[in-house]
Amino acid sequence: MAGQNDLGSKSQRIRNPMLVLGLIQAAAGLYTLYLGLGMLTDISSLVKSGQNPAAWISLFFGVVIALNGLVFSGAGLLKCLSLTVGRHDPKSLATDMENPGENQLHITYKAADLAEMLNSRMNKTFVEPRCWVESLCYTLFRSMFFLPPPYRNILQGCVSAIINTLVLLCGYGALVFLVDTSLVGQGSPVLAVNLCALFFGARMVFLWRRAFVADRNRVAAPDNLRIRYFTLNIAYALAVPAFLGGLFTLVSVPADGVFRECVDVFNAFPWISWFWAFALIPLLITLPILFLTWCKTLEYDLKTEVTERIEDWQESVHPDELFSAIDNKAMAGRRFRETPNRVYSRSVPGLQSHSSESKGEFFGYTVQETQPECIPSGQHPAFVCVKFLLGLAAGIVTVLTYSKLAAFAQGFTHNWNGAFDSISGQSLAGTALTLVLLLISAKMLWDAAGLFYSELKFSSLMIYYKNNGTYTTSTVTVGSSVYDSHRSENTVVRSSFHQWLIISRIISATFVGRGFARLDGARFVMEMHGDPATANAFLGDLRSFLDSFSVIADVAGSGADSRKASGITRMNADAQACAKIARDNAEVAVTPAAVVPPIDSEISYVPQGSGETADGQDILADAGAPVVRD
């Protein structure tokens, strides 16, 4: 869900997939609200006619129906609202190091799982069968097994409910066989069969209610697939017929009296017909669900392909600089709508020196994903049609349920005389069973339709980059002459990179939830496709960075520094030129060895600027030039 200050002008605009189902649910809720308000308006006429008990009953049912209408219409209108998509929606696949405030509740994978999926070319979304029911589903519906977990869970829930229903039917058939052969239930065989049908019908309600609970974030196997669940159901299917058969074998119903009249009224109701209705109608609802699940298998291209590049480079660059180039150049240019990429793992390579400080090794890796982009599902026209009919059937059954309840309540309140008889009792039981069957059918249809309407698909780029190798360090010094006024001393790292790049274009699926955190559900990786062009461009970006990388520090990048350095260089050149002229003049003015005076000769020096000798003769003499006297 978009958090505070998480929205921007370049956020995604995702069409709400629940719009059609929300309109159907809102319409059904508004009609239900109309029925409830209609019952409330009849209360005044009942009070004026002196039917106060009937007025209270009408008030109770009117409030119940109106409240359910408000709930349905509110839930439908909430489904119709636009999706609020933040810059960190949808959910990350693993813990995002760049978004530490993200809710960790429905994160499906770990960073190590994603790295293993890319390295091993496998998809951890699809797990092996964990129980015998999943093995049976894998055998019967092999292609349907490779679907997002919510679809797989509802399919396995249906299979579990079918198996448990067959177990109950076998228990019921065993009791009927024993009663027909007069082995058990001689006292009241019809009562034993009817009570068994009642108990097994109630059990089926709970079985099918749990089968269609579509948990959008469940990854583990549902509880109704465990062996303990089937064991309890088998024990129930055996214990009820055995108890009823033994009870009515030992106990006989009295031939007359109030208890006998109640038994006759109970036996007059068609319990067996209702038992078969509770067994078969949910089975019919599973048919469109199986069809929609089969259509979903046609939408996914179950591949686990990647593009792998292994490169060996030798460059004079620190390994940290290469990893900085990945974030700042290679991955930054591949953002979707300028949304920050998801960083699931990052290990910056640190230099581990050997015995010598100038040699060592390094290792680093990173796992990143670009912002997922919503893509169309490409649904089959038959899938769209059946999905719409499933939602429409859910709305119609809901309207029928509350219409039946409102009609019964109005008829009962207007015709009830304050007494009960067998006819009114059977009518009440039939209405109650009808409402229960309609309610459970409506809930199954709403859950199934809501699941198939809520799917969203996203496309994103995931990379795994690992870099290890060795390095050597050396010192490069420029401008070390005694006449240089500036110098540059640099420590150069010569690195040998062994790079391993794996890139995959993944297709992931998530399901829009209820309430306001509608994109906070788990996201599942469904497809993995190779992308050679992106892999080559990724390495090209790194190569261009290395080609433009400067190793030795210089002042050429700044105009002011360049002018100052040029002035210092000219000054050093002038100083060296003056020193050279002085040395050359001194060598020319020295007297040759042939005219060097004897040791006892007197030598005197003429001060600089003097043009005469000591005895008054004019001579040309340089400053400090020796003068020989005899």
The values of phi and psi at residue 444, to 5°, are: -60, -45
Q: What is the pLDDT of residue 389?
A: 92
Residues 6+ apart with CB under 8 A from 375: 457, 458, 459, 507
Q: What is the pLDDT of residue 388?
A: 92
In a domain, 115, yes or no: no
What amino acid is encoded at 477 in this protein? T
Residues 529 and 608 in one domain: no
Residues 259 and 161 in one domain: yes
Q: Of 12-21, 131-140, 562-571, give the range with the top mean pLDDT.
A: 12-21
C-alpha span between 312 and 358 (Å, rounded): 21
Quick one: 391 exposed, middle or buried, by C-beta within 10 A (0-12, 13-18, 19+)? buried
Q: Of 8-12, 67-71, 217-221, give the range with the top mean pLDDT.
A: 67-71
How many CA atoms are closer than 13 Å to the CA of 578, on its beta-carbon side? 7
Q: What is the pLDDT of residue 611?
A: 44
Residues 222 and 166 in one domain: yes
Range from 162-166, 212-216, 309-313 carrying the lowest mean pLDDT:
212-216
What percent helix, strand, coil does the chain show, rounded to 5?
A: 55, 15, 30
Residues 336 and 240 in one domain: no
Residue with tokens 């009440």: 428
Q: What is the pLDDT of residue 393?
A: 92
Band (pLDDT 50/70/90 cuts) for residue 417 is low
Q: What is the pLDDT of residue 26?
A: 92
In this structure, how many other beta carbons lie within 10 angstroms of the beta carbon of residue 472?
14
Res. 626: pLDDT tops 60: no
Residues 537 and 602 in one domain: no
Residues 209 and 169 in one domain: yes
Residues 158 and 268 in one domain: yes
Q: What is the pLDDT of residue 392?
A: 93
Q: What is the pLDDT of residue 625?
A: 41
Q: How many structural domains does the chain have?
A: 4
Mean predicted confidence (pLDDT) in 192-205: 85
In a domain, 90, yes or no: no
Q: What is the pLDDT of residue 173?
A: 85
The values of phi and psi at residue 182, to 5°, are: 60, 25
In this structure, how many other beta carbons lie within 10 angstroms of the beta carbon of residue 446?
25
Residues 495 and 538 in one domain: yes
What is the DSSP code string of 159-196?
HHHHHHHHHHHHHHHHHHHHHHTTSS--S-HHHHHHHH
Domain that holds residue 600: 594-630
Residues 477 and 611 in one domain: no
Quick one: 188 exposed, middle or buried, by C-beta within 10 A (0-12, 13-18, 19+)? buried
The C-alpha angle with vertex 258 and arms to 256 and 259, in degrees rounded to 5, equals 80
In tens, the pLDDT along 466-479 reads: 887 777 777 767 66
Percentage of the chain lying above the pLDDT 90 cut: 6
Residues 615 and 538 in one domain: no
CA proximity to 18, closest of 511, 444, 521: 511
Residues 335 and 203 in one domain: no
Strand runs (DSSP E) across 481-601, as ranges? 488-511, 523-529
The structure's pTM equals: 0.75
Strand runs (DSSP E) across 131-283, as ranges? none
Strand runs (DSSP E) across 170-296, as ranges? none
Res. 350: pLDDT tops 60: yes
In a domain, 617, yes or no: yes
Band (pLDDT 50/70/90 cuts) for residue 157 is confident
**Residue bearing the bigger pLDDT, 343 or 13:** 343
In a domain, 66, yes or no: no
CA proximity to 292, closest of 158, 387, 156, 376: 387
Mean predicted confidence (pLDDT) in 263-276: 78
What is the rounded average pLDDT for all residues in the chain?
Answer: 77
In a domain, 203, yes or no: yes
Strand 488-511 to 455-478 pairing: antiparallel
